[in-house]
């Protein structure tokens, strides 16, 4: 018996999830059984229930999908292109590299406490967000060699939308580059 391809199974589940997100007419999906052997997956019986759907297709989901419509490219005065977009779970390594380029003083002003290191759980909480109750945008400069986070802005509200927190954190080495124009955006 071949070992199960966990990454392949995960990819299959993501594809099924994307199908559900993209097609709000799907009322019921039953896959039983799903045979798995190594990297081969076979659905022996699939039942799909469809019904007309009207309304906000995302309001029916427990967790909102990534909001692609909020992505926007801007050009910095120095000509570099920068993508403003909602944060993604896969941004964790870039976020860690970003934090490494923020001074302890700037981190203190952002979090109102001294933080010596961010754990994987901390970074996961910052990157794996519920887009319905929290929003974090990253400014990402992408070149042929690398992609790097230049800044993060975050807004979090309580479930009743009575209290909220808003924060902006810019990489410390970029905060004083205005004379060269790198920190200003073309409109």
Report the percentage of the chain scoring pLDDT > 70: 93
pLDDT tens for each residue of 148-185: 999 999 999 888 888 999 999 999 998 865 555 555 45
Rounded to whole angstroms, the Cα distance separating 138 from 81 reads 13
Check whether 21 has a pLDDT greater than 50: yes
Q: Is the pLDDT of residue 60 over 80?
A: no
Contact by Cβ (8 Å): 102, 169? yes
Is 81 in contact with 139 (CB distance < 8 Å)? no
Helix axes 92-100, 120-127, angle to 10 degrees: 110
161/144 Cα distance (integer angstroms): 41
Whether the model pTM is above 0.85:
no
Is the bond preceding residue 131 a cis peptide, omega within 30 degrees?
A: no
Domain ranges within the chain, ordered by starting residue: 6-50, 68-180
Structural fold of domain 68-180: Aminopeptidase (3.40.630)
Q: Tell me, what's the pLDDT at 186?
A: 47
Report, as an integer, the average pLDDT of 25-34: 92
């Amino acid at each position: 018996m071949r070992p199960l391809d966990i990454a392949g199974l995960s990819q299959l589940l993501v594809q099924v999830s994307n199908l559900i997100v993209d097609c709000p007419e799907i009322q019921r999906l039953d896959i039983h059984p799903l045979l798995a052997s190594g990297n081969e997956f076979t659905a022996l019986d699939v039942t799909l229930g469809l019904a007309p759907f009207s309304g906000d297709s995302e309001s029916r989901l427990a967790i909102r999908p990534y909001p692609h419509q909020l992505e926007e490219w801007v050009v910095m005065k120095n000509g570099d292109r920068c993508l403003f977009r909602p944060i993604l779970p896969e941004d964790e390594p870039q976020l860690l590299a970003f934090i490494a380029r923020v001074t302890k003083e700037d981190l203190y002003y952002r979090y109102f406490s001294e933080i010596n290191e961010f754990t994987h759980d901390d970074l996961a909480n910052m990157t794996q967000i519920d887009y319905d109750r929290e929003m974090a945008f990253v400014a990402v400069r992408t070149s042929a060699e690398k992609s790097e986070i230049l800044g993060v802005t975050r807004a979090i509200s309580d479930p009743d939308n009575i209290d909220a927190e808003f924060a902006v954190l810019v990489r410390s080495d970029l905060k004083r580059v205005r004379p060269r124009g790198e920190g200003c955006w073309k409109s």
